Structure 1
Amino acid sequence: MKKSLIALNVVILLTAIGCKKSTESGNTGVIKTDSSTTIVTNNNGKIDSATESSSIVDVNGKRYEKTDFVYKATDGTLVKVIFKNDPKESTVAITSNKKTFTLPKTETNGDETIYKKDDMTARVKGDSLHLEQGNNIIELKRTKI
């Protein structure tokens, strides 16, 4: 009985020592979350509460910016819109019903920006996005989540 009690204590002690892990070891495939927040301001400097998420990265003096918004169509359909600006190109990606359309920026007229590819045109002005494809016209308004 005494020997089995000593053997049990040794096994428990070895298990406790063998199971210690440092905070940096473990599954390296797990992505750690970033607890920092990003505040996006609109043209007049006020905080834009309609932004879902935004990220700005400065690499070698070049600014890469990506901003996600949720827009709502007149029929109530929600559409995810991602504006991407980097030194090479500026695009808008419009996602609805598991389909994504990416349009490059073609021109800017004052406060209106136009993105175009093939027969699809997106006109962005303020909180509205006017989407045209052939004879179809869809009006979208930025919504707050």
Structure 2
Amino acid sequence: MKKSILVLNAVLALTVISCKKSTESGNKSVIKTDSSETVITDNNGKIDSVTQSSSTIEVNGQKVEKTDFVYKATDGTLVKVVFKNDPKESNVAITSNKKTFTLPKTETKNGETIYKKDDMTARVKGDSLHLEQGNNVIELKRTKI
């Protein structure tokens, strides 16, 4: 009886000792939570109140800039608009209802940038985007946070 109690205590002691894990060891595939906050700033370093994300990458020594905005139509529909600028071409990609229209930049004049492909034209000036296709005109405004 004494032997079985001693063996049982030894097994329990070994179990307790072997199950202790430090915070450094343990499951290495657990991803730690990132507590950092993303803040978008404009060119002046001020916090931007417009919903946007921007990225600049360098390919073969040439910079390619992509800027995403969320626009809102007069009927309340949200539209994702991505402006892409690189040395070869500049275009805008407009996504709504799981459809994306990509229009190349054709001209810039008087603070207005015009993108055009086939019968579709996008005119961007300030915070507004006028999308024209045939007789249809859709007014879009950048959304605020």
How many residues are paired up? 140
1:1-145 paired onto structure 2 within 5 Å: 1-17=5-21, 21=25, 25-26=28-29, 37-41=39-43, 45=44, 47=46, 48-58=48-58, 61-145=61-145
CA distance in 2, matches of 1:33, 1:83: 30
Q: Identify if the C-alpha distance between structure 1 residues 91 and 20 changes in structure 2 by more than 3 Å, giving closer, same or farther.
A: same
Q: Report the TM-score when normalising by structure 2.
A: 0.76
Question: For the structure 1 residues 59 and 22, does the alpha-carbon distance in structure 2 shift closer, same or farther, using more than 3 Å as the test?
Answer: farther
CA displacement 1:70-129 (0-9 Å, x = unmatched): 111111212111111122321211111222212121221231111112221111111110
What stretches of structure 1 of length at least 5 have no aligned partner? none
User: In structure 1, how many angstroms separate the alpha carbons of the residues matched to 2:42 and 2:88?
Assistant: 22
Cα gap change, 1:33/1:113 in structure 2, threshold over 3 Å: closer, same or farther?
Answer: farther
TM-score under structure 1 length normalisation: 0.76
Instruction: Calculate percent identity across the aligned residue pairs.
Output: 61
Computed over aligned residues only, the root mean square deviation of the Cα atoms, in angstroms, reads 3.2
SS at match of 1:50: coil
- Give the residue type in structure 2 aligned to 1:3: V
Does the 8 A contact of 1:51 with 1:67 survive in 2?
Answer: no
Preserved CA contact (<8 Å) 1:106 1:114: yes
Moved runs in structure 1, 4+ residues, more than 6 A?
none
Q: How far, CA to CA, are the matches of 1:74 and 1:3 in structure 2?
A: 79
Q: Which runs of 5+ in 2 are unaligned?
A: none
CA contact (8 A) 1:40 1:51 kept: no
Native 8 Å contact 2:121 2:131 kept in 1: yes
Call closer, same or farther: CA 1:80–1:97 in 2, change over 3 Å. same
Amino acid at match of 1:2: L
Rg larger in structure: 2
